[in-house]
Amino acid sequence: MGVPAAGGSCSAVVATTTAAVFLLLLLLCGCGAPAAMAAPGGGGGGEQQYDGGARYKDPRQPLNRRIEDLLARMTLAEKIGQMSQIERENATADVVRGYFVGSVLSGGGSVPAPQAPAEAWVEMVNEMQRAAMSTRLGIPMLYGIDAVHGHGNVYKATVFPHNVGLGCTRDPELVKKIGAATALEVRATGIPYVFAPCVAVCRDPRWGRCYESYSEDPRVVQQMTSSIIPGLQGEIPANGRRGAPFVAGQRNVAACSKHYVGDGGTTRGINENNTAASFHELLGVHMPPYYSAVIQGVSTVMVSFSSWNRVKMHANHFLVTDFLKNRLRFRGFVISDWRGLDKMTSPEHDDYITSVKLGILAGIDMVMIPYTYTEFVDDLTALVRNGTIPTSRIDDAVRRILRVKFTMGLFEDPYGDPSLAGELGKPEHRELAREAVRRSLVLLKNGKPGQKPLLPLPKKAGRILVAGSHADNLGYQCGGWTITWQGLGGNNLTAGTTILNGIKRAVQDHGTEVVYSESPDAGFVQRNKGRFDYAVVVVGEPPYAESFGDNLNLTIPEPGPSVIRVVCGGGIRCAVVLVSGRPLAVEPYVGAVDALVAAWLPGTEGEGVSDVLFGDYGFTGKLARTWFRSVEQLPMNVGDARYDPLFPFGFGLGLETQPSTA
């Protein structure tokens, strides 16, 4: 599907999207329940031999027969255990066994040890798995982790550009390769499940998670969703059943489309806020990626913290059960967000038993309860025993969870494979990330009136100035969800190459001197302006993630503006590279700069930026977000009746001159 031209009619966009919606609904509603299928084996453990006992242990049995056989053997405590996902800090062997824990997760920054190698992760996960497998029924535990731009929690993993940059590539095949590489790196640490992809359609860049969205246009997000899921989970075979959960084998992971639904449309972009929209608007703007996710066999869907027309998504039976499960025929399981039931009330965790009741009855199957798992188990047990929650609702949840586990082959291969450790951060993945950086860059300006373009920069020069807080800061390049939840500054958080490193390597064979000053003063620039052939100024936002990243001003933080004024206004021709998770207010500076590049959040491979600055590769990125003039215009998206951007959706210059080394 094509991308609408800048300034296109809103009604045309909605009409096109809605037509696609109805076609997909017809397809999905006619598909029926997935056919019974045998769970795949594969991986390092090999196929277990069936001992003639319980049918669920026999991989030759049809999938549905295995599910029903196991379900019939389970006690209420074992069923509620399967519905519980706890934080790794609490997942001791005694807790996993005693509460029949179905799933464990690492929150942002939750690691076995600082800078832990892949082997340490594998052993940690396997120790928990051994506890799960030692229970009466031996149901494997499912370990999950965020991997929204690579395996970002893990030291030395490849960190890819965040989705805001990948949307600018308009290349679904590239995104599929990134999904496959991410899956391998996650499996290298023994983990089979990722809380990715984020398929939000961000309609307001003031939202602190906007960088996790591919685009403001649902069709771009839908295209990328259709590719990233088979990248992570593997391609569904030609004779496979579309719409059923699918994971190809031990080099793939179960995926999770999030956050269902409308998280990118909240008022003023405030995280966890209300999305005010008609059902027609919800279907046309925010729902399309979920149609694609279900068709591609996504294993799980995570519910959003946000509300739709003042109804909390965690309590929305219509959208979770009636629409996602029944209308779209989603057969995987629905998972809550981090402490999602707690956040249904204000203050949080108030009247928790009512929150548990509303969430489970709405259709949530697995509950992310990192710390309050004992209270959750007690409350849900009481609600079932007093008849408030029917046993059929519990059985539906557990069937879905078991379906995913059987489909993944966890019963046959429950343990992580240490031989995959070499996949973490391997050169081929870093080269793929470097390519993604190159493809994601958007050239917004190149040359002042009456002057020749500044880019591509000549590699052979006497002396060049590199300035700005983001030129030599790996953590700033990577952004949030890197090593920690909110991200970190500095160069010691993981392995990678800064933009300054890339510039130095690009010119090192040409006798060019690189002078780096993070924040040069006006006196330095005036004294030396005749000594510099040109300057590269790299500025932007510090790292952030949800809530903490919400920003109603969207200005470039200091000292960025000061560095731009001092260097670019000081008589040196300058290229400004903006490292950010969204468009920022740049109109006051555009006239002073010779070239302006949106680099988004490129990740660990900063050489991808220098590759394009020096013309080894051309600029091909096109804006997947509207670049506003002022925040007063927001929200403003392509197709709106009042559309007056600084740079429109789809904008992106190419290089008009050939690279030069002279």
pLDDT in tens, 389-447: 999 999 999 999 999 999 999 999 999 999 999 999 999 999 999 999 999 999 999 99
Q: Provide DSSP, 351-382.
A: THHHHHHHHHHHT--BEE-SS-HHHHHHHHHH
* Per-residue pLDDT at 371 exceeds 90: yes
The predicted pLDDT at position 50 comes to: 54
Residues 6+ apart with CB under 8 A from 224: 163, 166, 167, 172, 175, 197, 199, 214, 215
The confidence score (pLDDT) of residue 243 equals 81
Residues belonging to the active site:
337, 546
Q: What pLDDT is recorded for position 589?
A: 96
| Neighbour-count burial for 341-368, b at 16+ CB within 10 Å, e otherwise | bbbbeeeeeeebebbbbbbbbbbbbbbb
Lowest-confidence segment of 25-29, 237-241, 294-298, 366-370 by average pLDDT: 25-29
Average pLDDT, the chain: 92
Mean per-residue pLDDT, 187-208: 98
Q: Is the pLDDT of residue 563 over 90?
A: yes
pLDDT in tens, 152-188: 999 999 999 999 999 999 999 999 999 999 999 999 9
Decide if 170 contacts 622 (C-beta within 8 A).
yes
pLDDT at 601 (0 to 100):
99
CA pair distance 272, 615, nearest whole angstrom: 42
User: Which residues have CB under 8 Å from 602's CB, separation 6+?
Assistant: 161, 165, 437, 440, 477, 499, 579, 608, 609
Low-confidence winner among 32-46, 153-167, 448-462, 494-508 (lowest mean pLDDT)? 32-46
- Region 289-296: mean pLDDT is 98
DSSP 653: B
Do the Cβ atoms of 166 and 148 come closer than 8 Å?
A: no
The DSSP symbol for 254 reads B
CB 517 within 8 A of CB 173: no
Taking residues 23-37, report their average pLDDT.
40
Looking at residues 133-146, what average pLDDT do you find?
Answer: 98
**What is the homologous superfamily of the domain 441-633 according to CATH?**
Glycoside hydrolase family 3 C-terminal domain (3.40.50.1700)
* 400-186-483 Cα angle (round to 5): 115
Which of the two residues, 560 and 19, has the higher pLDDT score? 560
**Alpha carbon distance 207, 192 (integer Å):** 30
Per the CB < 8 A criterion, the answer to whether 603 and 433 are in contact is yes
Residue 224 tokens read as 């990328």
The predicted structure's pLDDT at residue 22: 41
The alpha-helical segments, DSSP class H, found in 415-469 are 427-440
Q: Does residue 42 have a pLDDT over 90?
A: no
- Picking from 330, 329, 326, 305, the residue whose alpha carbon sits closest to that of residue 317 is 326
* Separation between Cα atoms, residue 481 and residue 258, nearest integer Å: 15
Does the pLDDT at position 18 exceed 80? Answer: no
Query: According to DSSP H, which parts of 605-658 are helical?
Result: 607-613
Report DSSP letters for 152-202, one per residue.
Answer: TTSTT--BPPPHHHHGGGT-HHHHHHHHHHHHHHHHTTT--EE---B----
User: Which residue has 């982790």 as its token pair?
Assistant: 145
Higher pLDDT, 445 or 48: 445
Which of 7-16, 126-135, 153-162, 647-656 has the least mean pLDDT?
7-16
Please state the domain extents for the chain: 10-423, 441-633
Check residue 13 and give its pLDDT.
Answer: 41
What's the pLDDT band for 16 if we cut at 50, 70, 90?
Answer: very low
Residue 99 has pLDDT above 50, yes or no: yes
Q: What pLDDT does 52 receive? A: 60
How far apart CA 289 and CA 293 sit, in angstroms, is 6
Q: Band the pLDDT of 655: cuts 50, 70, 90.
A: confident
Tell me the per-residue pLDDT of 493-545, one tens digit each, with 9 for 90 and over: 999 999 999 999 999 999 999 999 999 999 999 999 999 999 999 999 999 99
Round to whole Å and give the CA distance between 64 and 70: 10
Half-sphere exposure of 504 (CA within 13 A, CB side): 10
Q: Tell me what the mean pLDDT of segment 141-148 comes to.
A: 98
Fold of the domain spanning 10-423: TIM Barrel (3.20.20)
Q: What is the pLDDT of residues 576-634, one digit of tens each?
A: 999 999 999 999 999 999 999 999 999 999 999 999 999 999 999 999 999 999 999 99
Q: pTM value?
A: 0.93
Sheet with 367-368: list strands edge to edge. 193-194, 142-145, 103-106, 84-87, 367-368
Per-residue tokens: 201: 């359609």
* CA–CA dist 149, 290 (Å, integer): 19
pLDDT bucket at 24, cuts 50 / 70 / 90: very low
